[in-house]
Amino acid sequence: MSSGWIEMAAARDLAIRYGFIVLLFGLIAYFAIAAGGFVSPQSAVFIFQSVAITGVLALGVTATLVVGGFDLSIGSVATSAMMAAAYVMVVLEQNAVVAVTACLAIGVIVGLINGWLIVYMRVPDLLATLGMMFLLVGLQRIPTEGRSIATGMTMPDGSVANGTFSAAFLALGRHRFDFFIPNLIPVSVVVLLVLAVLIWFFLEYTRFGRMMYAVGSNERAAELAGAPVKAYKIWAYVISGVFASIGGILLAARLGRGDIASGNNLLLDAVAAALIGYAVLGAAKPNAFGTAVGAVFVGVLLQGLTMMNAPYYTQDFIKGVVLVVALVFTFALSGRGKR
Amino acid sequence: MGNDAVFRVDGLRKSFGHIEVLGGVSLDLHAGEVTVLMGANGAGKSTLVKIISGVYERGGGTMSLAGQDFALQDFAPKTPAEAIRAGVVTVHQNINDGVVADLDVATNLTLDRLSGSGAPTLFNPGRVRREAKAVADRMELTIDLKARISDLSLADRQMVAIARAMAHQPKVLILDEPTSSLSSAEADRLFALLDRLREQGVAILYISHRMSDIRRLADRIVSMRDGVISGVFDRKPLDYEGAVNAMLGRKIHLDRIVARNSARPVLTIEGLRIAEGSRPISLTLGDGEVVAITGLVGVGKTALAETLFGVRKPLSGTMVLNGKPYAPGSTGEAIAAGVFLVAKDRGENGIVGDFNIQENISLPFHKRMSRLGVLKRRIERATARRQIQELGIVCRSEKDEMSALSGGNQQKVMVARWMSQAARLFILDEPFQGVDISARRDIAAKLRASANGRATLLFVTELDEALETADRILVMSEQTIVGEHRNADIDLERLLAEVAGGPSQSAA
């Protein structure tokens, strides 16, 4: 009986550790056979491009998950940054550098306010960032009285906005680098990869990342080990805010306008990617590599289904199923329920 | 007394896994009498209470409760509700477990009637207020029945919790450290209430560490140690020192240590006050010496440890470390100054559960183990391996999860963490709690062997632990130091009197 039990436990360990990776490759193999043209550089790039913005947001929210928090405001930070970029260039007629700076400043400020609310005002993380989400969704509509921003639009005071998105800014969304094949890799994919490597290195190899994990696992122990716990938590929200605003910049550059209606799915998709990441390699904790894999997983799934002509309205349902399965992997099977 | 037991526990046993927590406890409670139960942490008091109140199932033995005809009948509650219906009511340590903070006093007083079977489906505010008033009058409560619980003081909440419990007209009332969060004026009100209940003939089991409470209330003291009753004291005047002695235990140790003296001071404390209204603390700790501060739970040991480590600020007084003024504003500053603390309750304050042994050991010293913010894992691993060797931590490798280790080995990791770098002042708060005897010996021996170059300060409740490890023993009572003993030919009678506090306290 006992040897059978040990084999079962070993098999379960393997399933927890490699289950999701195997599933990902299985999925790719299936689509490669079932959907013609799925295995091609263009298709791969398309998948990456489709997940670039949510991936960047997911990497940011991973930082808050690491310290045992959560950030629900990332989607609205991204859309606020997009609206701000459009406003700065179209209405204020400034250049790309000013627009990018304004967006990053929004990310930093929102992150600091979130951190302050959670650490000093003791508002629970979910509620603080939920409040911030509502606040930003409303705030981004005020300057234009709820209208989208595009060149030639009429302002509330009757004047016409004559500014344009600068070419340099639009390049962030539209330029493609040559990589063996000319015009292959979009800037947004490069940004995603660079940020993924950066945050992965930060969390895994620097003392700051290590201490953030300690704060998330046992805040009191981290404090008694001399860590400035409050500062670490606030920094996590700043990282999350800045990553979300970078996502917003990429979104604005792709759309070329400040579209009030876009970015609805950003929050849910990003959170799903980060939570799916828990299940990757049996980490059972937030981690940058897992988040990146989680984002790609969702991208592969949706791209494959689209190429097999699955209707668009089934997408959210499928994403939800994947998320629930991943959470079961993490919490029930590994028995390391935390958060 | 003694002829009218209303509640009897006989040979009660309980084990969790292989660990026996209760090893045959027998205890009688009498009507109209307050029995105080004393015991150090881990003695088994809470387990005993939880079995009596129907939270845990017993492992062996019997319990019986007087019925209508005063004859003892078998009592075996399967749930807390069953125990309450039978007439055994418990007020737990955490006051807020006994009341619903968002409801008003009247609703709280009648809560059990709202939820029991046969309760009316519709809520009748008038009836609730009438019933609540009846309960309050019986208890002589003078709290506004319309007030919300969350607006009341802790003492008032406690009163409501007790009144609510008394609405069942129990034969036995158990109070688990009810004064631990009350001021002395608030405690007085509680005592007056308990006096009335005693007159009404309720048998009261009162669990406390506070000597002042015990002197005020006890008709009888029962001491518990290591899961058995170690002493019953009911002859007047009550032998308080004997009860403390029975609770802390005192075995003669043949391998007594050789006490050392130290000439070079490391830390000097002058006039340090750690609580409102307490007397100031002054002491000096020398290089190479191991000093133990002993005293009952709640006398301020942890508060003093945390003050030295920068977790809390003293009300007044000065500290000098290495000849320089020392006033840490944070734990980080304390560590930078060479003051390390092994905090008590490792699960809560020490262990990072998601980290393995190696990562737990390196936790406070990341800065010293990294360049440009990047951790040097080779150094981290070498440090962990060295410490595992030094302290004899039993594990497969430095990559083991903490949850795979025994309690003793977990504690060794906590000590190893802080011994991996040189300290000037090394503080350990209850380092032997939940640690088996061999790990305890290992840790104590290591502390003594490595004592040179720093001052070592232990906070322990158990006297044995102080006698086994320290060169000098200080006694703490009511947030201050009340006695000092060199650990050689100690006058144990005087030391125990100091621990117990009260009139026979020495002038030290």
Task: Please write the tens of the pLDDT for every residue from B134-153.
Answer: 888 877 777 888 888 888 87
- Identify whether A5 is part of a domain: no
Q: Are residues B314 and B463 in the same domain?
A: yes
How much of chain B exceeds pLDDT 70, in percent? Answer: 92
Residue B242: CB partners within 8 Å, gap ≥ 6?
Answer: B231, B233
Report how far residue B195's alpha carbon sits from residue B261's, in angstroms, rounded to the nearest whole number. 50
Q: Is the pLDDT of residue A318 over 90?
A: no
What pLDDT score was predicted for residue B36? 93
The runs of H, that is alpha helices, within B395-436 are 407-419
CB B87 within 8 A of CB B166: no
3-state secondary structure of A302: helix
Structure tokens at B416: 């190893």
Task: Please write the tens of the pLDDT for every residue from B453-464.
Answer: 999 999 998 888
Handedness of CA A147, A148, A153, A157 (dihedral sign): positive
What crossing angle do the helices spanning A266-277 and A288-307 adopt, rounded to 10°? 120
CB contact under 8 A, A224 and B309: yes
What pLDDT score was predicted for residue B215? 86
- Identify whether B244 is part of a domain: no
Note the ipTM here.
Answer: 0.88
Q: Is the pLDDT of residue B197 over 70?
A: yes
Q: Is the pLDDT of residue B255 over 80?
A: no
Report how far residue A175's alpha carbon sits from residue A167's, in angstroms, rounded to the nearest whole number. 10
Q: Is the pLDDT of residue B8 over 80?
A: yes
The pLDDT-based confidence of A5 (bands split at 50, 70, 90) is low
B176 or A107, which is more confident: A107
3-state secondary structure of A1: coil
Can you give the length of chain A in residues? 339
The pLDDT-based confidence of A3 (bands split at 50, 70, 90) is low
Cα angle B458, B459, B460 (rounded to 5 degrees) comes to 110
Q: Is the pLDDT of residue A42 over 50?
A: yes
CB contact under 8 A, A221 and B349: yes
Q: Are residues B300 and B405 in the same domain?
A: no
- Identify whether A262 is part of a domain: yes
CB B292 within 8 A of CB B474: yes
Q: Are residues B506 and B428 in the same domain?
A: yes
Structure tokens at B133: 């008033």
Report how far residue B33's alpha carbon sits from residue A223's, in angstroms, rounded to the nearest whole number. 46
Handedness of CA A84, A89, A92, A95 (dihedral sign): positive
- Identify whether B307 is part of a domain: yes
Residue closest to B425 by CA, chosen among B356, B322, B351, B348:
B322
Residue A291: CB partners within 8 Å, gap ≥ 6?
Answer: A55, A58, A59, A62, A196, A273, A274, A276, A277
Nearest CA in chain A to B306: A224
Mean pLDDT of A305-318: 85
Q: Are residues B455 and B480 in the same domain?
A: yes
Structure tokens at B338: 């060479």
What pLDDT score was predicted for residue B399? 93
Residue B385: CB partners within 8 Å, gap ≥ 6?
Answer: B398
Best-predicted range by mean pLDDT among A325-339, B9-23, B247-261, B377-391?
A: B377-391
Q: Are residues B107 and B128 in the same domain?
A: yes
Mean pLDDT of B225-229: 86
- Residue B331 sits in a domain whose CATH number is 3.40.50.300
A214 touches chain B (CB under 8 A): yes
Mean pLDDT of B487-506: 74
Structure tokens at B160: 């409501």
A198 touches chain B (CB under 8 A): no
What pLDDT score was predicted for residue B3? 55
- Identify whether A84 is part of a domain: yes
- With 0-12 / 13-18 / 19 or more C-beta atoms within 10 angstroms meaning exposed / middle / buried, residue A240 is buried
Mean pLDDT, chain A, whole residue set? 89
The runs of H, that is alpha helices, within chain A are 2-34, 41-66, 74-86, 96-119, 125-139, 167-174, 187-205, 207-217, 219-224, 229-255, 266-277, 288-307, 315-328
DSSP state of A153: P
CB contact under 8 A, B349 and A224: yes
CB atoms within 10 A of CB B151: 12
CB B339 within 8 A of CB B425: yes
CB contact under 8 A, B374 and A207: yes
Query: Which residue among B421, B446, B462 closes a domain?
Result: B421
Kindly state the helix (H) or strand (E) to which residue B233 belongs, with its residue range: strand B228-233
Structure tokens at B417: 């963490």
CB B326 within 8 A of CB B319: yes
Q: Is the pLDDT of residue A1 over 70?
A: no
Give the strand pairing for B281-286 and B425-429: unpaired
Report how far residue A118's alpha carbon sits from residue A124's, in angstroms, rounded to the nearest whole number. 6
Distance of CA B7 to the CA centre of its chain: 26
Residue of A218, A235, A338 to mutate when probing chain B, most B C-beta within 10 A? A218
Query: Which residue among B421, B451, B468 closes a domain?
Result: B421
- Identify whether A37 is part of a domain: yes
Residue of A205, A224, A285, A334 to mutate when probing chain B, most B C-beta within 10 A? A224
Q: Which of A1-15, A175-189, A318-332, B347-361 has the lowest mean pLDDT?
A: A1-15
Q: Domain limits at A222?
A: 16-333
Residue of B341, B344, B363 to mutate when probing chain A, most A C-beta within 10 A? B363
List the single residue in B330, B352, B367 with the smallest CB-CB distance to A214: B352
How much of chain B exceeds pLDDT 90, in percent? Answer: 39
Q: Are residues B299 and B314 in the same domain?
A: yes
Domains: count for chain B: 3
- Identify whether B299 is part of a domain: yes
Mean pLDDT, chain B, whole residue set? 85
CB A86 within 8 A of CB A256: no
- Identify whether A4 is part of a domain: no
Task: Please write the tens of the pLDDT for every residue from B62-89.
Answer: 898 887 666 778 888 888 888 888 888 8
Which residues from chain A sit within 8 angstroms of residue B359, using beta carbons?
210
Cα angle A190, A194, A195 (rounded to 5 degrees) comes to 115
- Identify whether A2 is part of a domain: no
The pLDDT-based confidence of B390 (bands split at 50, 70, 90) is very high
Residue B8: CB partners within 8 Å, gap ≥ 6?
Answer: B26, B27, B28, B29, B63, B64, B65, B72
Structure tokens at B157: 């909440």
What pLDDT score was predicted for residue A152? 86
CB B341 within 8 A of CB B418: yes
Kindly state the helix (H) or strand (E) to which residue B27 belongs, with its residue range: strand B19-30
Q: Are residues B439 and B404 in the same domain?
A: no
Query: Which residue among B371, B394, B421 closes a domain?
Result: B421
The pLDDT-based confidence of A339 (bands split at 50, 70, 90) is very low
Q: Which residue has the tokens 């550098």?
A: A97
CB atoms within 10 A of CB A140: 24
The answer to whether the pTM exceeds 0.90 is no
B460 or A158, which is more confident: B460
Residue A271: CB partners within 8 Å, gap ≥ 6?
Answer: A58, A61, A72
- Identify whether B315 is part of a domain: yes
Q: Are residues B415 and B427 in the same domain?
A: no
List the single residue in A213, A225, A226 with the smallest CB-CB distance to B354: A213
Q: Are residues B473 and B431 in the same domain?
A: yes
Q: Are residues B331 and B375 in the same domain?
A: no
Report the DSSP beta bridge partners of residue B60: B13
Structure tokens at B192: 């007056």
- Identify whether B286 is part of a domain: yes
CB B143 within 8 A of CB B159: yes
Q: Domain limits at B260?
A: 253-338+423-508
B503 or B465, which is more confident: B465
- Identify whether A103 is part of a domain: yes
Nearest CA in chain B to A208: B373
Q: Is the pLDDT of residue B1 over 70?
A: no
Q: Is the pLDDT of residue A2 over 60?
A: no
Q: Are residues B258 and B309 in the same domain?
A: yes
- Identify whether A3 is part of a domain: no
Q: Are residues B265 and B313 in the same domain?
A: yes
DSSP state of A258: B
Q: Is the pLDDT of residue B251 over 60?
A: no
Residue closest to A272 by CA, chosen among A245, A299, A250:
A299
What pLDDT score was predicted for residue B188? 82
A222 touches chain B (CB under 8 A): yes
CB atoms within 10 A of CB B401: 14
- Identify whether B8 is part of a domain: no
Would residue B486 be called left, alpha or beta, if left means φ above 0 and alpha means ψ between -120 and 50 degrees?
Answer: beta
Handedness of CA B376, B378, B384, B387 (dihedral sign): negative
The pLDDT-based confidence of B504 (bands split at 50, 70, 90) is very low
CB B505 within 8 A of CB B479: no
Residue A122: CB partners within 8 Å, gap ≥ 6?
Answer: none
What pLDDT score was predicted for residue A161? 87
In the stretch 266-325 of chain A, residues with CB closer than 8 A to chain B read 285
CB contact under 8 A, A207 and B334: no
Q: Which of B243-247, B362-366, B395-399 has the lowest mean pLDDT?
A: B243-247
- Identify whether B86 is part of a domain: no
Residue B150: CB partners within 8 Å, gap ≥ 6?
Answer: B101, B102
Mean pLDDT of A20-37: 87
A vs B: CB pairs below 8 A: 68
Report how far residue B338's alpha carbon sits from residue B335's, in angstroms, rounded to the nearest whole number. 5
